[in-house]
Amino acid sequence: MMNTTRRKFLQISALLPLFLTTQKAGAQTNASLRKEFQYQDKPKDDMSCSSCLEFIPGSKKMGRCRVIPGDDEISPDGYCTKWNSM
């Protein structure tokens, strides 16, 4: 017969991967590329992230950018020197 402590441990261990994969990941930014490309949260003239071909809209207000990998806090109203319309 299995020890109660061991049984609890095995039950928790079996559920742990499910718990870890369902946790919401925090927002991420890529500070070094933001600085290199002079990213700002406001448009420059008529250029903004939402009109850039590199922008990937998110399910909420913020999106991502193909030239700034690992950053999911790109504002559609933002701008950087990699803005691309072609």
Q: Give the pLDDT confidence of 22-76 residue by residue, as tens digits.
A: 444 567 899 999 999 999 999 999 999 999 999 999 988 899 999 999 999 999 9
Contacts of 73 (CB under 8 A, 6+ apart): 27, 28, 29, 62
Structurally, how many domains does the chain consist of?
1
Give the pLDDT confidence score for residue 21 in this predicted structure: 46
The residue type at 16: L
Q: Does residue 68 lie within any of the structural domains?
A: yes
CA 49 to chain centre: 15
Q: Does residue 69 lie within any of the structural domains?
A: yes
Q: Does residue 76 lie within any of the structural domains?
A: yes
Give the CATH number, domain containing residue 54: 4.10.490.10
Give the pLDDT confidence score for residue 34 in this predicted structure: 96
- For residue 20, what is the enclosing H or E element? helix 4-22
- For residue 31, what is the enclosing H or E element? helix 31-36
Give which of 77, 75, 65 is closest to 33, Cα–Cα: 65
Q: Does residue 45 lie within any of the structural domains?
A: yes
Per the structure, the complete domain to which residue 35 belongs is given by: 29-86
Q: Does residue 39 lie within any of the structural domains?
A: yes
